[in-house]
Amino acid sequence: MKFLKIILLILTLIFIFSCQNSQQDSTYYMLQKHVRYLASDRLSGRFPLTKGDFLARNYIDSIYKNLDLSDITKNHFQQEFDFLQDIKPRSKFEIRIKNQMIYLKRKKDFTIFLKSGDVKVSNTKALLVGYGDNIYLRRISRYFKDKLIIGYFFPPKTVDKKLRKEYHWRNLIKLAEFYGAKGILFVAPEDKFERLKSIEENHPYSQQIKRYKIPLLTISRKTLKRILNFNQLNSDSLEQIIKEQNGHFFRELTLTSFNLSISLKFIYKKAANIIGLLKPTGLDERDIILIGAHYDHLLPKKKKGIQDSIRNGADDNASGVALLLELARAFAKTPERKFYILFACFGAEESGLIGSTYFVKNPIVDLRRIRFMINLDMVGRMRKNTVYIRCNPPNSKIQDQLKKIKSPGFAVLFNKIDALTDAIPFFKQGIQTLWISTGFHEDQHQVTDESDKINFEGMVEIHHYIYRLVNSKLFF
Ligand SMILES: [Zn+2]
């Protein structure tokens, strides 16, 4: 009988041991599966509103559904927010000299500055200014009223560096608005004009455009030359004079008047945060732990002659999402949970923390219930057995507690990393945030951030660490 008992005990031990092992194996396998899919060329970088973005959203949705997380968005786990997809400009620009009307062409003679207001201006005279410092511009500002100001976007390169620093187009806009100018035509040299034209067309990182009230255009130097010719002025000798006066210059152009109408149509579509909630096992619990990771990344790199243009974003941040999903799986299986765990895959982080900012401004849970926010951003490149945790606000008590959590595979370094990440909007709301990361590297935001460079063993270690951290009750 005793012999049988021993056999039974050994069998049980083998069973427990193999279960634990297969658990580990499956975490490893699943992390790999998530990262490989999210960072595959098929998803093409997961930039908001692209096909890859929607594939990523569906993937996360389906896993939340499988794990039976609660959908507090009531919209397939998606909290939607506006994302600027396109800007459609419309414009009309005419110069009148005596009885003649000259039409200027957008993209050839001028471009629209995306901060421009939507305005119509007719029969307006222009005032040419140089690139003087703020004090000078203020001094001549009484001539601004009802004029179209023609000023420089950048002072010419030949001008003294110190003088160049004293002038800024932003100051000119402020003064022009304040003193009742009708608009500004910025003069740009040809190469800069081409660059500004491409910004007008592609508006790559302009999600939060602050628009001014007056119309703002950029004209090429060629266009300026024409305008000056119409006023019987020679542009070369005039620029020489401006230069000799250190940019301190103004002259009214009396022989021409301008008609101008601008409208910029901003087209927004819905991007999304993907949010699932895991409820506590007891009934009295109120506290929430939020685990967040952004799932978006960047558009392919536009450069001629490179074969692989896709920025896969395996570490940034397919790794964080994979870890979040496997933590959700692990926590969904725990028999006892003392708190709510909110899983949030944020959208449009790379475009300016748009998803996470929207979340805190339009909360679907009471933010005061969030005990802490764990942000997983770039967790797939563990090197030298080191993991970084940024504790914001810094809190030595919490750090001491974090040090007590077993992490056999790595050492934790505190507050050594700093960058824009989704923890920031939460931290600004007064929520304790912990940003966990394996740190920066040269492949970040490059086409070389690929799945085969991910340290999956390291990710399994971090998975166990966070699992222990959340279960440690150190925060409760
Ligand atoms: Zn990131």
Q: How many Cα neighbours within 13 Å face the side chain of 53?
A: 22
Residue 457 has pLDDT above 60, yes or no: yes
Angle between helices 456-471 and 2-38 (to 10 degrees): 110
Q: Ligand 1 center to residue 421 CA distance, Å?
A: 6
pLDDT bucket at 473, cuts 50 / 70 / 90: low
Residue 17 has pLDDT above 70, yes or no: no
pLDDT bucket at 22, cuts 50 / 70 / 90: low
Q: Which residue has the higher pLDDT, 223 or 4?
A: 223
Residues with Cβ within 8 Å of 170's Cβ and at least 6 positions away in sequence, in order, are: none
Lowest mean pLDDT among 3-17, 128-142, 189-203, 419-433: 3-17
Q: What is the pLDDT of residue 127?
A: 97
**Cis peptide bond upstream of 317, omega within 30:** yes
334 CB burial (10 A radius; 0-12, 13-18, 19+): middle
pTM for the complete prediction? Answer: 0.81
Residue 213 has which token pair?
A: 């009230």
The domain segmentation of the chain, as residue ranges, is 28-70+279-471, 87-266
Q: Ligand 1 center to residue 306 CA distance, Å?
A: 24
- Mean pLDDT for 137-164 is 91
CB 256 within 8 A of CB 126: yes
Q: Ligand 1 center to residue 419 CA distance, Å?
A: 9
Q: What is the pLDDT of residue 43?
A: 97
Q: Ligand 1 center to residue 206 CA distance, Å?
A: 18
Residue 15 has pLDDT above 80, yes or no: no
Q: Ligand 1 center to residue 294 CA distance, Å?
A: 7
Q: What share of the chain has pLDDT > 90, as a percent? A: 73
- Mean pLDDT for 138-147 is 96
Q: Ligand 1 center to residue 40 CA distance, Å?
A: 17
Residue 219 has pLDDT above 70, yes or no: yes
Q: What is the pLDDT of residue 12?
A: 58
Q: Ligand 1 center to residue 316 CA distance, Å?
A: 5
Q: Ligand 1 center to residue 204 CA distance, Å?
A: 18
Same fold, 28-70+279-471 and 87-266: no
Query: Which residues have beta carbons under 5 A from ligand 1 (an ion)?
Result: 316-317, 377
Q: Ligand 1 center to residue 80 CA distance, Å?
A: 20
Q: Ligand 1 center to residue 112 CA distance, Å?
A: 32
Q: Kindly report, residue by residue over 254-282, the tens digit of the pLDDT.
A: 999 999 999 999 899 999 999 999 999 88
Q: Kindly report, residue by residue over 180-192, the tens digit of the pLDDT.
A: 999 999 999 888 8
Q: Ligand 1 center to residue 274 CA distance, Å?
A: 16
Residue 24 has pLDDT above 90, yes or no: no
- Mean pLDDT for 100-116 is 93
Virtual CA dihedral for 172, 174, 178, 184, nearest 10 degrees? 50
Residue 400 has pLDDT above 70, yes or no: yes
Q: Ligand 1 center to residue 425 CA distance, Å?
A: 14
CATH class of 87-266: alpha beta
Q: What is the pLDDT of residue 157?
A: 82
- Mean pLDDT for 98-105 is 92
Q: Which helix (H) or strand (E) holds 424?
A: helix 423-428
CATH class of 28-70+279-471: alpha beta
Considering 4-13, 262-271, 281-290, the range whose residues carry the highest mean pLDDT is 262-271
pLDDT bucket at 14, cuts 50 / 70 / 90: low
Q: Ligand 1 center to residue 424 CA distance, Å?
A: 12
Residue reference for tokens 């896969």: 312
Q: Ligand 1 center to residue 350 CA distance, Å?
A: 7
pLDDT bucket at 6, cuts 50 / 70 / 90: low
CB 277 within 8 A of CB 140: no
Residue 292 has which token pair?
A: 């967040």
Q: What is the pLDDT of residue 328?
A: 97
CB 377 within 8 A of CB 317: yes
Q: What is the pLDDT of residue 208?
A: 75
Q: Ligand 1 center to residue 342 CA distance, Å?
A: 19
Q: Ligand 1 center to residue 402 CA distance, Å?
A: 23
Q: Ligand 1 center to residue 64 CA distance, Å?
A: 22
Give me the residues paired with residue 186 across strands.
151, 218
Q: Ligand 1 center to residue 49 CA distance, Å?
A: 18
Q: Kindly report, residue by residue over 229-257, the tens digit of the pLDDT.
A: 999 999 999 999 998 998 999 999 999 99
pLDDT bucket at 9, cuts 50 / 70 / 90: low
Average pLDDT, the chain: 91
> Taking the mean position of all CA atoms in its chain, how far away is CA 65?
28
Q: Ligand 1 center to residue 250 CA distance, Å?
A: 48
Q: Ligand 1 center to residue 315 CA distance, Å?
A: 8
DSSP assignment of 86-151 equals EEEEEEEEEEEETTEEEEPPBTTTEEE-TT----EEEEEEEEEE----HHHHHHHGGG-TT-EEEE
Q: What is the pLDDT of residue 432?
A: 95
Q: Ligand 1 center to residue 295 CA distance, Å?
A: 8
